[in-house]
Amino acid sequence: MGTWGTGPFDSDRAADFVDELEGLTRQQVIDVLERAFQRVTDSAERVDGGDGAEAVAAGALVASTLPDSPIGINPDVGPSEPLPSLPPALCTSARLALHRVLQDGSEMATGWVDGADADQWREQVRQIVQALQPRADHF
């Protein structure tokens, strides 16, 4: 898996995941996002790096759809069409998955060569998790 930065879309796997959403119906988009989260939450002790990359990208996409979200998606790396309205349950699924991705049993959390990159990546994932926290005005 090629990784060129610490952002949620800075890997081949994340870019491929975004491409997978193109042309899907609303329900298909929801299903793809949910499966990305489910693969991580259902994994054993170790979370695969590719699955983690997809979950982080999916979490950023879900967070970006929330009102007043601080998570923005650069049009160069995000889907070509805006995401449809998403059910609130996806926020819960995303938070659970991203908490797993941040744990030591995750290849994403432990695979960084540079400690500064690891810290920057963790902070970005934490910001996504924070944006996914329940608020009265979400959805």
Tens digit of pLDDT per residue, the chain (139 long)? 577 788 899 999 999 999 999 999 999 999 999 999 999 999 988 889 999 999 999 999 999 999 989 998 888 888 888 888 899 999 999 999 999 999 988 888 888 888 898 899 999 999 999 999 987 654 4
Q: Which residues contact 8 (CB under 8 A, 6 or more apart)?
A: 14, 56, 57, 59, 60, 124, 125, 128
CB 17 within 8 A of CB 58: yes
Residue for token pair 């491929």: 16
pTM recorded for the entire structure: 0.92
